[in-house]
Structure formats: C-alpha cells, structure tokens
A and B are shown apart, each in its own frame.
Chain A
Amino acid sequence: MTLWLKARAVPAVIATAAASLLVLILPFSTLSGTPSPAGATVALAVLLGLAMPVVLGWGMARSDRLLETASTRPIAVLDISLVLGAGLGVAVADVVLRVAGIAPAGSIAGRATATFIGFVLASVPVIGWRNASTVPVIYFVAVVVAGRGTDVAHPAPWAWIASPDGDVWAMTAAVVTLLVGTVIYLRTRGSSYLLQEN
C-alpha cells in the first residue's frame, strides 16, 4: 500500500486538492473573462477544476502498468477509488463551500471538476493515462475560444462548464459526463493499451 501511495503521488494529489480548495475561497476566484469574440465567458474557477484531473493523470501515469498486473494488491480498485475519491471529493467539497456561502464560485468549480474527470476517464482506454489529462485541457480551450452561445452570457450547449451558477442543464451534463467516463473506463480497463503504455 505504501508503494502504491508513493507510485501514484498521493501526497501531491492531496496537496493539490487542498491548494485548489484554498484558491477557490479567495476573492479572485469569482473573476470571469471573455477572451474571445466567439468564446464563452469563463470563470477562473473553471480553470481550478483542471488541477485535479491533471495531477491525477500524472500520478496514474508514473508506474509500470505491466508490472502491476502481477500485483497481489487490488491495484485497479485502488486506482479508480483514488480518481473518483479525490476528483469527486474535491468536486463535492467545492459545492459544499458554495452552499455554505464560503466560495461563491464553488458549484462552477465542482461542475467543471466532475466534467474534466469524466473526460479523463473516457480518454484513458484510447490514449492512456499519460495523455488523458490533455483532453479536458483541449476542451477547456475550445470552450473559451469558440463556446459562445446566443449571447455573451449564455454559452453553447456543448460548453456547459461556462454556464452560470445553478444552471440545471450544466450540472446534469457534468454528472452524465462523469458517469459515462466512469463506465467507459471500467468496461475497458483491461485493454491492451493500458499494458503497453509505459
């Protein structure tokens, strides 16, 4: 277990989770910008949502997958528990901070985190852990560059991470993305790509 904790950089994951929550309660996390004429207005909190997927992707990509298939420990169970536990844990904490009135952008950050974790999990069977965290980053850039909807305050339906706080469609889309990503990951976790990644 100690080796697994070290291999997955769990201390770094915990530190990142704590740091992202700390930044979320700072006043500037409510800042938003519209950097592109065709892009959505995106809160800085959405950017915070990328922290966990990126650090989890790095942690999961550090070890020798082929070697781990011979482990007597339930590595696969531990891995998905870490991803969902840490990723979802931060997302839930974001929302709780919002409900408690401590972090006004909490639900936006939580929704983004859930969405990004879903994208990462769905991407792992295709491109591996090493590259999976690039997918939510590209999605984020696409939203900011081309995610504008009917007007500056309303993003396109596919750019739900930029939706206003309390948008039901956006929260639903985030949860569905997370569920679909988890199902795809679980159904394909034994794929040959995982074994050859490193």
Chain B
Amino acid sequence: MMPIRTALRIMPAAWFVLPVAMFAGWYATLLHSPAGYGTAATAAASGTIPFVGAFVGGAAAWEGARLRRSGVWGGPWVRSDVRIAAGAMAGPIAAGLLAILVAVVVSLVRVGAFTPDLEIVGVLALDIFTYASLGFALGVLVPSALSVPLAVLLPFIWLAFVPAMYPVWLRHLTGMYRDCCGIAESLAPRAVVASVAVDLGVVAAATVAVRVRWPGRRRLLSALAVLTAASVFGVSAASGMTYAPVVARDPSLLTCSTNNAVRICLWPEHRDQANLLTPAIRDVVVSWETAGIDSPTSVTEAWDSQPTGTLSVRLPDQLTKDGVILAMAVGMLPPDPNCGGATTGGIAFAYLEAWYAAAGGISSASLERLDFPGDDVNPSVLVAVNDLLAAPVSVRHSWVARAISLSQSCDESTAPDLRVAR
C-alpha cells in the first residue's frame, strides 16, 4: 500500500476528497425523502452517485495511467497484479466511500432518521468499486489524455442520462435508487439484483480487460461475453418494473390500535405521533358518518391491496389536522380510470376530494385552496361543496355515486354534470 504522505502528494483522490465529500453532503440536502424513514433517506442519498462515481472513475483512471506510463502494469513483479491494482484503487475507493457516507449521514440527519438501509449502502459501495475498476482498466489500457475524461464521462452518462431514457426500468440497472421510497414502500429486490448483476459484470469485464498478458482478441471477447451475460441477467431482472424501484412495505411493521371502533394502523415513523394522529383520524371518520358518507372501519398507512372498508392514506411530512383530513380525503378517491389519457370526467376528482375534506372538518382556509372554477354547466368546487353541505343525506349519496361514476368514465363525448340537485 502507498504511504499516506505519498498518497496526499500524488493522488487526485486525496486532493479532492474533502471538496467532493462536502459537495455530496450539500447535494444530499436537495434530495427529498419522507420524514423519519431511513430506507428512503439512504435511497435519496444515492442521488449523489452520478458525480461521486464520475470522480472515483476519473481518479482511478489517473492511477491506472500512472502504472501504464511507468511500465509497471503487466511486468514480471513478485507482487501480484491484484495487489498492485488494490494499492492504486484504494485511494479512489476510499474517497468515494467517504463522499457517499457523508451524503447518507446528511440525508438521514435531515429527515430525523438514524438507521440507514444497509442493502442500499452495500449497493452504493459496490457501485463505487465498479467505477473504480472501470476507471482503473481504462487508465491501464488507454492513454491518460483519453482515459481520464472517458472514466469521468462514462459513469456520469450511465447514471445521469440512462435514468432519463425509456423504458423506464432501465434506471434500475444503475444502482441509483433516488425514486425509492414512499413511507409505505421499500426497495424492490429485483432492482437490487439488476444493479448488482450489472456492477459485477463491469467489474469482471474490467478484470479480464486488464490481463495484458492475454492476447488482445481473447481479452476483448471475454470482456464482451461477461458484460453481455451480466446485462442480459440485469435486464431480465428489471424489465417490466415501473420507474420507482419499490415494493409494498412489510405490513407486519404497522402498529395498529382500535379507537371507537375504528382500527388505525401506522408505520413506525409515525408511532411517536400516534397520540395526535389517532384522535384526528377518528374525528374525520365520525364526521364522515355524520355527513352520510360510507366511512371506513379501518384506516391504514399500508398501500397494498386492502380489504373492503379499509382506507389507505399517505400522511404528509408535516402532520397537521388539515393535512390528515386532506390525506384521508385523497385516500377516499376512486382509482384513476385506465383511459390512456386525461378524460372530461376527471374533473370529478377535484369535487370529490373537496367534498370529503369539507365533510371531514377541514378548515375554511384549506378548503378554499381546493377551489376550482366551474364551467358553463358546473359550479365552482366551493359552491358545489356548500350545496352538498346544505343538502339532505340522500342527495349527497346520489351526488357522490354520480361523481364516482363520472370519474371512471372514458367517454369523451358527454360533458360531466356535477351540479347538486335541489
């Protein structure tokens, strides 16, 4: 291994580790994740990997190029190639790991979570090792005037532009999980398998490519074969996924309690606020019953398929009474129809949301923010809600049934009528 004093003198990884780590920490503050959820915070920190990976790749290419220029690589030395490579790559890898670690810590502290997701941290560490291997191989094989820019650009293009491409699941090959996770979600194992497969493929291809004692054609074909096999495996694991690498979170983590015949289930991140949330949720359910709305018997934060009578809610980061009411009102909405685009009946969602929120006891200031202008046929959202509040229960029932039916219709030819019968 290289003495630290020598590393500080000659390694770009040592020169730039502090600025890059500080930048990663600042960058992590820009990436959103739900309060208190360690998995989501760790996943958000993975958003720093494009430039950290580029830095690691460039620094490793520099070290590889040093061995190439001096004729050290591939020589008949007592020390093995693996040890020589490890000595050269240790600095860039350590710098990359430090930068990622800073990003993860900042991301966790920012949302008040203290348990990182070790699976994501492991993949990030493998990412760093992968870009170091790629950069080192380029440095050994190609002149530094080409290898360093290439080693910076390749990870960057891979991590910054591939996630912007179609099909959307391509992004899961990169090992960057910034679209994970909502509080009711956890990281999808398929995304982990896909990115680990591609990472290992790149590492194996780089390992084959730097065996300079092998004939060039054999190295090229072996590296391509390994990379192709790993890519096919990764693609087969990720294909068909949505843009977010998530699955439903383990429901056994929910803490459930029954309050006035309403069963309320909360994630561990909201367990501390249960004293505030439980009465707030119960009050909304009671208000809905009073208003003649078919109320749920159970309210849960889980979002996988739930039995009839269970309401799934996404509580906001800032837990306020109005926020809880609004989250429950949104949870009461019917699913989006599969019409292949926007529909004229989609206007009914805004009316339904406002009605559920108003009936649940939302403040007038928050209700006004839900207002939406009407058209030639329909009144504004607030006027419709006021009409509903003044109407008998039977009228409300029929209006809600009609609004739900309209919201699910793919018929573009009929103008929706959301007026409240008097």
Contacts and interface: CB of A to CB of B under 8 A. Distances in A.
B27 A38 contact: yes
A137 B154 CA distance: 11
Interface string B109-153: 000000000000000000000000000000000011110111011
Contacts of A34: 164
B80 to A, nearest CB: 29
Contacts of A138: 152
A131 B160 contact: no
A61 B161 CA distance: 30
Interface of A: 31, 33-38, 44, 47, 50, 54-55, 57-58, 60-62, 129-131, 133-134, 137-138, 140-141, 144-146
Contacts of B30: 37-38
Task: Tell me which of B30, B31, B51, B149 has the highest count of chain A C-beta atoms within 10 A of its own C-beta.
Answer: B149
A131 B157 contact: no
B156 interface: yes
B163 interface: yes
Contacts of A58: 143, 145-146
Contact of A131 (B50, B54, B148, B156): B148
A145 B27 contact: yes
Nearest to A138: B152
Nearest to B161: A33
Task: Tell me which of B31, B143, B160 has the highest count of chain A C-beta atoms within 10 A of its own C-beta.
Answer: B160
Given A35-B161, A36-B160, A38-B30, A129 B145 contact: yes
Nearest to B16: A138
A133 B144 CA distance: 10
B201 interface: no
Given A35-B50, A62-B143, A131-B144, A54 B149 contact: yes
Contact of B152 (A31, A55, A141): A141
A134 B148 contact: yes
B153 A137 contact: yes
B156 A141 contact: yes
Given A35-B160, A144-B50, A145-B50, 12 more contacts: A35-B159, A35-B164, A38-B30, A50-B153, A54-B146, A62-B145, A131-B148, A134-B149, A140-B153, A141-B51, A141-B152, A146-B27
A86 to B, nearest CB: 15
Nearest to B153: A137
Contact of B145 (A44, A131, A141): A131
B360 interface: no
Nearest to A37: B30
Contacts of A145: 27, 50-51
Nearest to A59: B145
A98 B23 CA distance: 37
A198 to B, nearest CB: 9
Given A38-B30, A130-B145, A33 B164 contact: yes
Interface in B151-186: 152-153, 156-157, 159-161, 163-164
Contacts of B58: 134, 137
Interface residues of B, number: 24
Rank and list the top 10 A-B pairs by shortest CB-CB distance, nearest first: A35-B160, A33-B164, A58-B145, A61-B145, A137-B149, A58-B146, A54-B149, A37-B30, A57-B145, A145-B51
Contacts of B152: 134, 137-138, 141
Contacts of B31: 37
A35 to B, nearest CB: 4
Task: Tell me which of A60, A61, A134 has the highest count of chain B C-beta atoms within 10 A of its own C-beta.
Answer: A134
B145 A133 contact: yes
Contacts of A134: 58, 148-149, 152
Contacts of B54: 141
Contacts of A38: 27, 30
A15 to B, nearest CB: 14
Nearest to B50: A35
A184 to B, nearest CB: 19
Contact of B149 (A36, A129, A133, A144): A133
A34 B159 CA distance: 12
A178 to B, nearest CB: 19
B48 to A, nearest CB: 9
Task: Tell me which of B31, B47, B145, B156 has the highest count of chain A C-beta atoms within 10 A of its own C-beta.
Answer: B145
A146 B146 CA distance: 25
A144 B150 CA distance: 16
Contacts of B143: 58, 61-62, 130
Contact of B157 (A47, A57, A60, A62): A47
A157 B156 CA distance: 23
Nearest to B65: A130
Nearest to B51: A145
Contacts of B27: 36, 38, 145-146
Nearest to A198: B69
Nearest to A136: B149
A54 B58 CA distance: 14
Nearest to A62: B143
B153 A144 contact: no
A38 B58 CA distance: 22
A154 to B, nearest CB: 18
B144 A33 contact: no
Contacts of B51: 141, 145
A141 B27 CA distance: 14
B369 to A, nearest CB: 23
B145 A144 contact: no
